[in-house]
Amino acid sequence: MKAVVQRVASARVDIAGQTVGAIDGGLLVLLCAERGDVDVLADRMLAKLLKLRIFSDDAGKMNRSVQDIGGGLLVVSQFTLAADVSGGNRPSFTQAAAPDEGRRLYEYFVAKARAAHPVVATGEFGADMQVHLVNDGPVTIPLQMLA
């Protein structure tokens, strides 16, 4: 399971001109399920995200988590994180989970996030989305959980 995490001042997801998910300060999480991923990887990814200390403390050091600051999570499915361009210029997505399994793992992750954190917004799995964000820092962290 892969994610790109961005510390944001604000972020939203629009579909067909309508906002479907939005947060103020917090984390934008672009999440990708890959072939062979299982629930325990989603659990580990969520635990890491909730404890990831990338928000500034009073001394200006990155020492606080999204839970510490009461920030939001905006979770967006992003199968293109599984892209492989080693064979040419057109990406291959064979490492991405099959659509049904990708949806199941995404929905599992979102349900677990909502049970563990008070502010969780989402995009829509498989939709053509426009993601708007104000990256705070900028701070962008790639994460990968391996079996």
Q: Each residue of 23-51: pLDDT tens digit?
A: 999 999 999 999 999 999 999 999 999 99
Per-residue pLDDT band for 108 (boundaries 50, 70, 90) equals: very high
Residue 142 lies in a domain: no
130 annotated active-site:
no
94 annotated active-site:
no
Residue in 6, 78, 109, 122 annotated catalytic: 78
Name the packing angle between helices 99-116 and 39-51 (round to 10°): 40
Average pLDDT of the chain, as a whole number: 97
Residue 53 lies in a domain: yes
Residue in 19, 80, 130, 144 annotated catalytic: 80
Residue 147 lies in a domain: no
What confidence score (pLDDT) does residue 147 get?
A: 80
Residue 145 lies in a domain: no
Whether residue 15 is predicted with pLDDT greater than 90 in this model: the reply is yes
Domain span including residue 103: 2-137
Residue 26 lies in a domain: yes
Residue 44 lies in a domain: yes
Q: What is the pTM of this model?
A: 0.96
Asked if 8 contacts 55 with a C-beta cutoff of 8 angstroms, the reply is no
What confidence score (pLDDT) does residue 103 get?
A: 98
Average pLDDT over residues 53-79: 97
CA distance 50 to 119: 12
Residue 146 lies in a domain: no
Q: What percent of the chain has pLDDT over 70?
A: 100
Q: Each residue of 128-137: pLDDT tens digit?
A: 999 999 999 9
What confidence score (pLDDT) does residue 34 get?
A: 97
- The enclosing domain of 78 has a CATH number of 3.50.80.10
Residue 22 lies in a domain: yes
Average pLDDT over residues 104-126: 98
Q: Each residue of 70-84: pLDDT tens digit?
A: 999 999 999 999 999
79 annotated active-site:
yes
Residue in 79, 109, 122, 125 annotated catalytic: 79
CA distance 69 to 47: 16
Residue matched to tokens 């939203």 = 12
